[in-house]
Amino acid sequence: NAGVTQTPKFQVLKTGQSMTLQCAQDMNHNSMYWYRQDPGMGLRLIYYSASEGTTDKGEVPNGYNVSRLNKREFSLRLESAAPSQTSVYFCASSDPRIGSYSYEQYFGPGTRLTVT
């Protein structure tokens, strides 16, 4: 199993350009998440999808859109990139079930995005 995969690994954009970050998981998980990681700020949730067909805003959704394409794939789109969106982006997945002990999230390797 590959776990959670993300593409691309690195990307440089100019201000105003758009791009889509791709994420896929092969663990048959229901829930998927997008985070951004900035120095001193920890991991902040951008959007999440509790199950196929649903998406919800997280802590920092402005400037982003998401699509839960199917159970495996969850993409993050920047419509008009800004320098403030320079960050490392992580996708994660989990399979929380009522009565289960663990809400463990499995993370991908990240996409390092620079907006100039």
Judged by CB under 8 A, the stretch of 11-19, 65-73, 74-82, 107-115 that binds another protein is 107-115
Angstrom distance (rounded) from CA 19 to CA 37:
18
Subset of residues 23 to 62 that bind another protein, contact rule: CB under 8 A: 31, 33, 40-45, 48, 58
Report which residue type is found at 109.
Answer: P
Cα-Cα end-to-end distance for the chain: 36
Of 86, 35, 32, nearest in space to 55 by CA: 32
* Residues across the chain: 116
Q: Is 103 in the site for another protein (CB under 8 A)?
A: yes
Query: Which amino acid, 66?
Result: V
Smaller CB distance to another protein: residue 14 or 53?
Answer: 53
Count other Cβ atoms within 10 Å, centred on residue 55: 17
Instruction: Pick between residue 42 and residue 53 the one whose CB is nearest to another protein.
Output: 42
**Region binding another protein by CB under 8 A among candidate stretches 15-23, 70-78, 79-87, 97-105:** 97-105
Q: Which residues bind another protein (CB under 8 A)?
A: 4, 31, 33, 40-45, 48, 58, 90, 92, 94, 96, 101-110
